[in-house]
Amino acid sequence: MGFCEYFRKQYLKKRILNIFASKSCFLILVCRILTLQTPILKMDTTHYISTEVLSLETLQEIISHHKSLALSEEAKVNIQKCREYLDAKMASHSKPIYGINTGFGSLCNVKISNNNLSKLQENLVKSHACGTGDEVPNAIVKLMLLLKIQSLSYGHSGIQLQTVERLVDFYNNDVLPIIYTQGSLGASGDLAPLAHLSLPLLGEGEVFFEGKKVHSSEVLKHFGWEPIVLKSKEGLALLNGTQFMSAYGVHVLIKACQFSYLADLIGTISLEGFDGRIEPFHELIHSIRPHKGQIVTANRVTQFLKGSKISNQVKKHVQDPYSFRCIPQVHGASKDAIDYVKNVFKTEINSVTDNPNIFIDTDEIISGGNFHGQPLALALDFIAIALAELGSISERRTFQLISGLRNLPAFLVDNPGLNSGLMIPQYTAASIASQNKQLATPASVDSIVSSNGQEDHVSMGANAATKALRVMENVERILAIELMNASQAIEFRRPLKSSEFIEQFLKSYREEVPFVNEDRILHYDIEKTVRFLDCFKTE
């Protein structure tokens, strides 16, 4: 029986929910674990885009339940009223308004005639579609579509209703534009990525559809859709915005909550394998330094260990190394960082981030800088650092486990010398942890002048976003290697057993990755362990 199947058993379901009675993000994770192996079918449910606050939990529900999107009547009215206002303004107003009847960036002082406004917007989209590098994962592209639709629905962007409805059609039919990871400075929004997101509206560019990459004109023909003819400001509304950074951030945040849980669980198994002490997790210790994440972590580890014979046996050693003893402090700090980043992104995904902004009630069109990605750049750097630290301390626990300490054989294998055992997976973990340290160097402290000096400070938030995703993927591999070592170490503690919770987890893991009796190709074990941990994921 697989681990996810086991967690669907009713008695463990009750126990887990009792253990994690908090409302934090890890409760959402555990609840999802209970149903992850249930076949997921495309549901007939719909999420209506509106001005109601869009939470990360709601986003996760939309994604995991494959909900379709539809514009609420409120959103339709907001979009239409704004467009009608802008059309009336352009008919009666001859003065230059940035991005509506002027050039862009340093060309902002070039006035464009009214009969060229549609061509201006089309040219904007085409000229800015100059991304390069790897293709953005489809899951993130779909998030970009959702977040762009949400931002345009507030009625401050001057977009046509049919343009937003076509983006909804793309989302609902899994028509996913091909977007590239490189090209955004994260300042005037994510110009290049959002240009590639927008190209298919014009029948240009490529999309991923029905399992293959095709030209968007083929998909438009398939559905009988005509290309959108952009009106004044629409290209700018589509390209200005932070949806590339935001989608990466949301994707990483959802996974970060899961990895926070896994780091606690796997760290606890390592503690057992190392015959570590339980006292550092006592609630009194943490009540006098009451950081939220620290308290949550200590309580979680304590609950994991309830009924453990290993943790309750008399210890010969007085203290454990920091990588074990300070799990609450280190893991907890990462949890608090994740909570901070979550709040930043909650604000962002409920915001209007294009430019200029239209305010019907006060009859104003105001050019500002809501597209600047600095809040996201700092937050993405922060979460990359927080995740990198989860990997860093994990690798140190692996190092301790293979060091031949506390009656464990060197490299956790019989006949060390003839067998190298788990010597080299620690090298791998160390290499990945070091790469994470390099990737965690902040992108947000960098800036470079663009657009002839008009855009003279940029956030580099897009680079922070792609780095954060790489750090997150690396952490999963580091944790997988720690689980390999921790589960191996516990076997050398037999006949003593850990808690029922941990023993059942290890029983399921052993069905995928058997005990290492003698040397074998451990690459396969690492990959199997990563797949085992994937059962915690929502996708």
Q: Which residues are catalytic?
A: 98
Residue 165: exposure state from Cβ atoms within 10 A (0-12, 13-18, ≥19): middle
DSSP 310-373: HHHSPPS-S---HHHHTHHHHHHHHHHHHHHHHHHHHHHHTS--SSSEEETTTTEEE---TT--
* Sequence letter at residue 379: A
Of 513, 535, 506, 527, nearest to 38 by C-alpha is 535
Give start and end residues of each alpha helix (H) in 402-440.
423-439
Element (H, E) at 384: helix 374-401
Q: What is the 3-state secondary structure (H, E, C) of 9-22?
A: CHHHHHHHHHHCCC
SS3 133: strand
* Sequence letter at residue 282: H
Largest CA distance in the chain: 87
SS3 208: strand
Q: Which whole-number Å values give the CA distances from 351 to 14, 329, 390, 475, 490, in the listed order? A: 39, 34, 31, 31, 49
- Distance of alpha carbon 505 from alpha carbon 3, whole angstroms: 6
Cα-trace Rg, the chain:
26
> ω before 356 within 30° of 0 (cis)?
yes
Which residues touch 252 (CB under 8 Å, ≥6 apart)? 380, 383, 387, 465, 468, 469, 472
Q: Which whole-number Å values give the CA distances from 116 to 54, 96, 99, 233, 512, in the listed order? A: 37, 14, 13, 12, 63
135 strand-pairing partners:
180
* Residues 386 and 334: beta-carbon distance below 8 Å: yes
Element (H, E) at 177: strand 176-177
Of 387, 373, 353, 371, nearest to 467 by C-alpha is 387
